[in-house]
Chain A
Amino acid sequence: NAGVTQTPKFRILKIGQSMTLQCTQDMNHNYMYWYRQDPGMGLKLIYYSVGAGITDKGEVPNGYNVSRSTTEDFPLRLELAAPSQTSVYFCASSYSGLAGGLDTQYFGPGTRLTVL
């Protein structure tokens, strides 16, 4: 049981390049989330999904796109990378409505992205 996995762990992009951050969970969770964490700050929600085919915007969606074709996978796409997107990106999943205890968010190890 691997939990939530993310690839790559590190990446450097040039301004204007695009990339996809991969996220996979093997816990059969319905909900999946993408957060970004800027230095010294808390996490901010980019996009989330409540199941295959259903996604919605979070607090900071501009410059990103997502899709959810399967329960397991929730990739995050960066188009036209900008220095403001330099951050650590976390994927998370939860079974349901975050009722606490086991129904909390489980996080992947993060992807550290630098845009130069």
Chain B
Amino acid sequence: AQKITQTQPGMFVQEKEAVTLDCTYDTSDPSYGLFWYKQPSSGEMIFLIYQGSYDQQNATEGRYSLNFQKARKSANLVISASQLGDSAMYFCAMREHMEYGNKLVFGAGTILRVKS
């Protein structure tokens, strides 16, 4: 069963506008963490933001915020005031327990293109 679902293969946004990238997850573990990573065309993976399942407030990091709706099992990434440099692939990931520790399970990603 798919643990992380990103339903938007690709998105366009006008420069300076806000955009929301969707992420839904599935877990029976009451303690979990959700991460967003950015992968520009150069290929590296850049950590953006983290939300813990017990965090009382939605996470924010500069222009990035996470719209965390626990009951709906969604953790959407909101990018405010989009910039051309935001054009990239964005991955949602969830921490999952393994025998010897934890790992990240990634969604398929959403390609974001910012138009000038």
Q: Which residues of A contact B (CB under 8 A)?
A: 31, 33, 40-45, 48, 50, 54, 56, 58, 88, 90, 92, 97-101, 104-107, 109-110, 112
Given A98-B102, A105-B104, are A88 and B43 neighbors across the interface (CB < 8 Å)? Answer: yes
Pair A99/B52 contact, Cβ less than 8 Å = yes
Pair B100/A50 contact, Cβ less than 8 Å = yes
Given A107-B45, A109-B43, are A100 and B52 neighbors across the interface (CB < 8 Å)? Answer: yes
In the bound complex, residues from chain B placing their C-beta under 8 Å from that of A48 are 98, 100-101, 103
10 smallest CB-CB distances across A and B, nearest first, come from A100-B50, A42-B106, A107-B45, A50-B100, A98-B102, A43-B106, A98-B95, A97-B102, A50-B101, A104-B47
**B47 partner, pick from A33, A54, A97, A106, beta carbons under 8 A:** A106
A-B contact count (CB 8 A): 66
- Shortest A98–chain B CB gap in Å is 5
Q: Which residues of B contact A (CB under 8 A)?
A: 4, 33, 35, 43-45, 47, 50-52, 91, 95, 98-104, 106-109
Main secondary structure of the interface of B (DSSP, over half): strand
Q: A31-B101, A97-B102, A104-B50 are in contact. List 12 more A-B contacts (CB 8 A).
A: A40-B108, A43-B91, A43-B104, A44-B106, A45-B103, A90-B45, A97-B101, A98-B102, A98-B103, A104-B35, A105-B104, A110-B43
Pair A42/B33 contact, Cβ less than 8 Å = no
